[in-house]
Amino acid sequence: MILPGGTLGILGGGQLGRMLCLEARRLGYRTVVWSGSEVAEPTQGVADEVILKPFSDAEAQAYFVEQVDVATVEFENIDHDVLRAVDAAVGIHPRPEAVAICQNREREKLFLQGKGIPCAPFRVIETAADLAAGVTELGGKGVLKTAAFGYDGKGQIRVHEGMDWEMVWADFDFPRAVLEKWIPFECEISVMVARGADGAMEVYDVAENVHREHVLDYSIVPARVDAQVVAQAQELAKKLAEGLEYRGIMGVEFFVSESEGLIVNEMAPRPHNSGHHTMDACETSQFEQQLRAVVGLSLGSSRLFCPVVMLNLLGDMWRGEGLFEKLALQENATWHLYGKTSSKGLRKCGHANFLGEQALENALALKNAVLGES
C-alpha cells in the first residue's frame, strides 16, 4: 500500500491523465506524467511534473521510474516492452499483459473467445483474398478494423459483398486487421468495473451510449435497457476483470442486439469516456477508484446518487454559440474542461454532467441551443 505523500506515475498526457492527476492531488498524492510526446496540454499545470519525451527515450524511462512509486496508463497504445520495463522497475497497474490484450483487437477477440464471452464473429485478415473470403463467410457484410491503434471510430470501415477487395485492402493500408460480422443492434451500452489489489470488485451502473460520427456524444445512466441486460453486462464485466487478473478501472462496451443478444464490442484498460458521469453522480468517481486500486487502497462504493447524463463538449459545441453562458444557467449541471487549445473537428474538449430526472431533456436542450438545432 502506498499512502498519501507517495508518487503516482502516469503514462500518457491526455484528459484522462489530467483528471487522474486532479484526483490524486485531492487525496494527497504527487503525480509524474510521462507524455510519450512533445505535447501534453491537458496534464500540464495539474501534474507535479510532466516529462515531454517519447516512450522510446531510454533516459526518460530511467528518470520516470526513479521519480515514482507505482505507475498506471491513461491510454493503451503504448509499446509492450515499455510497459514491461516500467512494471519491472516500480510496478504498473493494470498489468502489461492485460493492456496488451486490450490494445490489440485480434488478441482481444481471441481472449474473449477463449473465455466463452460473447463477441461478434470475426476473421483475422492479412490479404485482400482473406478479406473477400471473410466477408462471404460472415454473411456478406462487416466492419474491417485495424488490429491495433484504433479509437473513436478511427482505423475501421464498413465493407460488403461486391466491393473491389484489392482496392479496399490497399486503401486500408494496414498489414493486419480484424473483420467483424455486421451486427444490427438496438443500442450500445458500457460498464465500468474496478478490481482492487485484493481482488475485490466494484461494478457501476450501466451507461447507454449515443455516438455522433463514431465519437461518444452523450451517455445516459442508468441505461434504458431491461434489468436482465443490466445484470448480464455487469456480470460479464466482472468475469473479464477476473480473467485478465486486472487491477484498476476498466470500461467494457457492449452491443445490445435483438438477434444476437448482448455481445462485447471493446475493452478499455483505463478510465473511460462513458464513465465520466461518476465524477458527479457516484459516491466514488472512476478516477478515485483507479487511484485506489493502483496504490493499493480498498475500493470505494460505486453507488449512483441519481440519474445522470454525461454530455461530451465536442469541438463543434466548443465553437458554437454561447456554450458557457448557457451552461452557467443550468441548475443541475457541472462541467469539466480538458485544457486543450484546439477544438478542431469533434475533438473532446470537456464534458458536462446533468443530474436529476430531467437530465436527458436538459442536456439535449443545451446541445441543440449551442449548435442552433431544433
344 is an annotated ligand-binding site residue: no
150 is an annotated ligand-binding site residue: yes
153 is an annotated ligand-binding site residue: yes
Within the chain, residue ranges assigned H as helices are 15-26, 58-67, 80-90, 96-102, 105-114, 128-137, 165-172, 227-243, 278-281, 286-295, 315-318, 323-328, 359-371
Residue that is written with C-alpha cell 450500445 in the block: 188
53 is an annotated ligand-binding site residue: no
180 is an annotated ligand-binding site residue: yes
165 is an annotated ligand-binding site residue: no
Q: Going by C-beta distance under 8 Å and a sequence separation of 6 or more, which residues neighbour residue 75?
A: 12, 14, 16, 270
Quick count: other Cβ atoms within 10 Å of Cβ 291? 26
154 is an annotated ligand-binding site residue: yes
145 is an annotated ligand-binding site residue: yes
CA distance 342 to 41: 10
Centroid of chain to Cα 46: 21
115 is an annotated ligand-binding site residue: no
Quick count: other Cβ atoms within 10 Å of Cβ 300? 18
Q: At what angle do helices 15-26 and 286-295 cross, to 10 degrees?
A: 70
141 is an annotated ligand-binding site residue: no
235 is an annotated ligand-binding site residue: no
156 is an annotated ligand-binding site residue: yes
188 is an annotated ligand-binding site residue: yes
CA distance 107 to 269: 14
Feature table: binding site for ATP? 105, 145, 150-156, 180-183, 188, 211, 265-266
Feature table: binding site? 105, 145, 150-156, 180-183, 188, 211, 265-266
